[in-house]
Amino acid sequence: MGGVARPDGGDVVVIVAFDRVQLLDVAGPLEVFTTANRSGARYDVRVVSPDGHDVVTSCGLRIGVDTSLEELPGSPHTLVVPGRRDWRSATAEPGLVPLVAALAARTRRVTSVCAGAFVLAHTGILDGRRATTHWELAPQLAAAYPGVRVEPDLVFVRDRHLVTSAGVTAGIDMALALVEEDHGADVARDVARQLVVFMARPGGQSQFSVRMTPPSRHPLVRRVMDEVTADPSVPAGVAALAAGVGISTRHLTRLFRQETGMTPGQYVDAVRLEAAKVLLSSGTAPVEEVARHAGFGSSETMRRLFQNTLGVSPTVYRARFRTTAVSA
């Protein structure tokens, strides 16, 4: 992947690579920036590694490092920090965090893709800032770096000169937004058309995620959670749930907040939403029937929850996730 054309006087984009880095975290933004050069942009994209040697990516493909740290200009335009799913090993990679910290201190715009947010967080640069990462890793980012304000649903997040993006292909979304910022919507649209991707991805990460509420240690809360999960269509008002375990609605609500961070009603909505997602993506039942089986009072209630939570309607969700086959 070395040997990228470098426009004279172009804005230098530095992409950090390291062993077992996710290939698409590197290749996605690189392809966006270099494609933009065909539409009038002037990006000088350079790949660096902690030791200056080529690296082997997550899929086993070797990519070349085409510059050394000493050859970079004093103030690069953009830094891109990709990641790998084993983020603990990444942050312990010899020389990686110091390299990123040194580059971030002298770069005008600092970005990350997927688990690259953990590397940025490890430098301290994300303390007190909004950031995102892959939906599955967002709770780990929040737990490991409590100073970071994690936004788990957003595809990418900007906080001043820091831009972090969600999982893998979200690096393409982020890079397109940066191209638009630098060179206008027309150039970004040209790139999106060339790469056959959305100019702006509809909806957030929630439409891709599986909601994972940690099991409660409190026996009463666990009983309620098990009952709702076993059959989301069972009438599940807070009063009925509380009566089922012999406590007041106020006490159950307080216990739920302590144990799960959500109210009983929010938990019921989350379980029903997950049930509806499975039914929509795996079957052909009408939306009204899906709503009934998932426990919603009506398809309109389900539609509102989908729109408010995922940013898409049930019909659109089914179209995106039911099959990869081309429809007539």
Q: Which residues are catalytic, by number?
A: 114
Cα 17–18–23 angle (5° rounding)?
Answer: 65
Element (H, E) at 250: helix 249-260
SS3 annotation, 45-98 = EEEECCCCCCEECCCCCEECCCCCHHHCCCCCCEEEECCCCCHHHHHCCCCHHH
Q: What is the DSSP letter of 148?
A: S
Residues 306/273, Cβ–Cβ less than 8 Å: yes
Q: How distant is the alpha carbon of residue 218 from its chain centre? A: 31
What tokens does 85 get?
Answer: 């799913």
Q: How many residues does the chain have?
A: 328
**Angle, helix 299-310 to helix 314-321, in steps of 10 degrees:** 70
Q: Could you give the angle at which helices 264-282 and 314-321 cross, rounded to 10 degrees?
A: 50
